[in-house]
């Protein structure tokens, strides 16, 4: 199953379209039960996601079905990177109530690109060599970051990248396929652009006015072809063969069920997805939204 669960909403009021706030624990249990019943076994969290790690630890303790991925904290240069990473990791596995996890990712790519990069990556290797972590990787935002990282480190297991129907940067010239050929596992996030793609047309334009022309085209075409925005957004990402995991964040069991119902539906017409490509970083990079 390509689908994986992003769990920021389990510990935070996260996402531009999130009107429910942090997911209640009772709802988390329902979501995880549905995930398990549909062979969704990968859970992505981070030290920065509020109490998401603790919630997952309580909800999955004793259940070896789920593969857990967490991330390093945002590092500061006033203290040794090794100490910060190892201390945070110790807390993470305590919160997750486990002794080892599937993967640990560097949360902020600049931490490995900057002057502490070598120390950061050597510490990540240390955790992998110890068996406490099966795979190590980095959460990245663009190709330039990827090229810089891979020029220095040739043993990256996982890259977590942004990809959605508006943000097609990394599929140009079969770039993701090139990464896979190097043995790198690709996990994609921001599939729904923090939920913007699934919002009501007027609400989406209100939230991000600069994206109005693109949002209107997307919604108009969905209506024209009798396709829901969810179906269109999912189909675009699921057709990318180079992707190992597609991270989706949900705030309710109902939302996950809806995603599952639509994940395997074929679109009634052939769509030229390239027409929805947006080059404006102020639209496709949520960190630049104001």
pLDDT band at 16 (very low <50, low <70, confident <90, very high): low
Mean pLDDT of 153-174: 97
Cα angle for residues 260, 266, 268 (degrees, 5° grid): 135
The model carries a pTM of 0.94
Residue 158 pairs with which residues in a beta bridge?
137, 185
On the question of pLDDT at 237 being above 80, the answer is yes
Q: How far apart are CA 244 and CA 112, in angstroms?
A: 23
Other C-beta atoms within 10 Å of 168: how many?
18
The pLDDT tens digits of the residues spanning 205-217 come to 999 999 999 999 9
On the question of pLDDT at 14 being above 90, the answer is no
On the question of pLDDT at 110 being above 90, the answer is yes
| Domains of the chain and CATH, by start | 3-288 (3.20.20.100)
């Amino acid at each position: 199953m390509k689908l994986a669960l992003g769990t920021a909403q389990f510990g935070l009021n996260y996402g531009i379209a999130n009107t429910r706030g942090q997911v209640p624990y009772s709802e988390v249990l329902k979501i995880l039960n549905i995930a398990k019943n549909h062979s969704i076994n990968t859970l992505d969290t981070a030290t920065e996601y509020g109490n998401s790690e603790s919630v997952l630890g309580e909800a999955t303790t004793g259940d070896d079905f789920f593969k857990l991925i967490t991330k390093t904290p945002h590092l500061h240069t006033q203290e040794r990177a090794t100490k910060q990473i190892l201390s945070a990791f110790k807390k993470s596995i305590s919160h997750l109530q486990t002794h080892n996890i599937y993967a640990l990712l560097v949360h902020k790519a600049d931490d490995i690109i900057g002057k502490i990069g070598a120390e950061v990556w050597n510490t990540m290797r240390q955790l992998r060599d110890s068996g406490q972590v099966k795979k190590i990787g980095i959460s990245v935002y663009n190709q330039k970051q990827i090229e810089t990282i891979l020029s220095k480190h040739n043993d990256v297991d996982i890259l977590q990248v942004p990809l959605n129907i508006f943000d097609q940067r990394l599929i140009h010239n079969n770039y993701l396929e090139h990464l896979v050929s190097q043995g790198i596992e690709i996990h994609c996030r921001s599939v729904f652009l923090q939920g913007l793609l699934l919002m009501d047309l007027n609400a989406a334009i209100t939230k991000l006015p600069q994206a109005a022309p693109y949002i209107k085209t997307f919604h108009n075409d969905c209506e024209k072809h009798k396709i829901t925005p969810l179906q269109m957004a999912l189909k675009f990402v699921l057709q990318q063969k180079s992707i190992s995991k597609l991270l989706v964040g949900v705030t309710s069991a109902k939302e996950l069920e809806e995603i599952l119902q639509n994940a395997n539906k074929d679109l009634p017409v052939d769509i030229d997805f390239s027409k929805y490509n947006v080059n404006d970083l102020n639209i496709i990079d949520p960190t630049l939204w104001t």
